[in-house]
Structure 1
Amino acid sequence: MYIAIAGNIGSGKTTLTKMLSKHYGWKQYLEPVAENPYIDDYYKDISRWALNMEVFYLKQRFKNLLEIQHSKETVIQDRTIFEGVYVFAANNRKMGNMDQRDYETYMELFESMMEVVEMPELMIYLRSSVPHLVKNIQKRGRDFEKSIRIDYLQGLNKRYEDWIKDYKGRLIIIDGDNLEFGENPEDFRKVTDLIDAELFGLFAEKGV
């Protein structure tokens, strides 16, 4: 089974991925932030490095997906190839960080990959406001994230909402502003109750 966690920068998706992996015994695939050779340059000059950044993540997520699709274990992934394309790359195009020629080339590459890509059997979306994202980004203190602009986060949030609104697969939406699942066991239990209900047929509401 393939389960994915979606969410903006600072939404807590990596924390939730690790917690759910431990709770259920699922194999985790974390986003390769530290391994990205473009990330420092990207946040210093987004328009110069946007295509390089997005192609690296597209390549890495596609590689992970091929491994996931051949795995016999239940897998949980921190950020999907789909939000990389429909949220991050789309936001860079909208903000003018990728020109139309580069964007079309990128999308043609993605569309070729889609011929062998399978959708997650469950998508968990962490919905968070920009102030909440900023608080979490500041708390973790990554040097390369200090230059992230508010309008960049706002654009990503809009793209996320547009994407989720039209998402066709099985979906759970978590209110990231009001659930401190990383610190509060009761809030984490609310999240696992939703997952149990969706995967195993136990009764619960569709969102918290």
Structure 2
Amino acid sequence: MKYQFLAVEGPIGVGKTTLAKKLASHFNARLLTDTEDSNPYLGSFYKQQNARAFHTQIHFLVSRLEALNNPEIIQTEQPIVADFFIQKDKLFAELTLDHTEWWMYSTISEQLLQNVPRPDLVVYLQAPLAQLIERIERRGYNYERRIDSHYLEELSALYERYFHTYCDPLLIINTADINLADSEADVSELCHRIAEFRGGRQFYNPQISG
């Protein structure tokens, strides 16, 4: 893989971790995964968002920073595939924090993220709301059972807005008609698209491209 650092992004349930694992295996890259179930505040957050929103965001920020600042990660010559893009964490904060919490979170994150490396390529996964809900239900995480569909819809809209103005290399994938979990052919085609990526902003819509 010609990219030293690739990040997979997209809303909850779109398949970030599933794809990141397959890309890491295909490209012989080191996998940097974000284990959401290790966040002790997440269950309470989904139950009542305003109760633990700030704690949830700070925990994600710190844990992801620790992963990215791991000396083994920084010093390795092996490519890295991550299932998160830490610079976009503010999307969740923007949606869930009140004004005071947002100001505090922004101040903290801006200081901590100053020297954090940015991915050479972001793979942004999209899916319709109904599919996100279906995939979340299928994987059956207890702490996700209380996710509100309106929250998912707003989050997806924030992702769209954020990446609409994103200027670094970006590959946008419509996952509505592909099976990243079980289809080797779909994953192989996506790996080919990544290997052939030439920079800028590109779209891959399997329904259209065939």
Task: Please tell me whether residue 65 in structure 1 is matched to residue 68 in structure 2.
Answer: yes
SS in 1 for 2:7: strand
Q: Quick one: distance in 1 between partners of 2:180 and 2:44?
A: 32
Task: Please tell me whether residue 159 in structure 1 is matched to residue 163 in structure 2.
Answer: no
Shift, 1:130, TM fit? 0.7
SS in 2 for 1:198: coil
Shift, 1:206, TM fit? 4.2
Whether the 8 Å contact between 1:11 and 1:127 is mirrored in structure 2 is yes
SS in 1 for 2:152: helix
Normalised TM-score (structure 1): 0.90
Q: 1:37 aligns with which of 35, 40, 45?
A: 40
Q: Quick one: distance in 1 between partners of 2:146 and 2:182?
A: 27
Shift, 1:172, TM fit? 0.6
Q: Quick one: distance in 2 between partners of 1:119 and 1:131?
A: 31
Which residue of 1 is the match for residue 208 of structure 2? none
SS in 1 for 2:159: helix
Whether the 8 Å contact between 1:194 and 1:206 is mirrored in structure 2 is no
Letter of the structure 2 residue corresponding to residue 148 of structure 1: I
Letter of the structure 1 residue corresponding to residue 87 of structure 2: F
Task: Please tell me whether residue 142 in structure 1 is matched to residue 145 in structure 2.
Answer: no
- 1:69-88 to 2 correspondences below 5 Å: 69-85=74-90, 87-88=91-92
Q: Quick one: distance in 1 between partners of 2:181 and 2:36?
A: 20
SS in 2 for 1:174: strand
Counting aligned pairs with the same residue, the percent is 26
SS in 1 for 2:125: strand
RMSD after superposition: 1.5
Normalised TM-score (structure 2): 0.89
**Uncovered stretches (5+) of structure 1, i.e. residues with no partner:** 93-97
Shift, 1:112, TM fit? 0.5
Whether the 8 Å contact between 1:28 and 1:77 is mirrored in structure 2 is yes
Letter of the structure 2 residue corresponding to residue 77 of structure 1: A
How many residue pairs align between the two structures? 198
Q: Quick one: distance in 2 between partners of 1:69 and 1:91?
A: 31
Whether the 8 Å contact between 1:90 and 1:159 is mirrored in structure 2 is no
Letter of the structure 2 residue corresponding to residue 119 of structure 1: R
Q: Quick one: distance in 2 between partners of 1:8 and 1:48?
A: 22
Which residue of 1 is the match for residue 17 of structure 2? 14
SS in 2 for 1:34: helix
Runs (4+) of structure 1 moved beyond 6 Å?
none
Q: Quick one: distance in 2 between partners of 1:147 and 1:187?
A: 31
**Uncovered stretches (5+) of structure 2, i.e. residues with no partner:** 206-210
Task: Please tell me whether residue 2 in structure 1 is matched to residue 5 in structure 2.
Answer: yes
Which residue of 2 is the match for residue 24 of structure 1? 27
Shift, 1:65, TM fit? 1.9
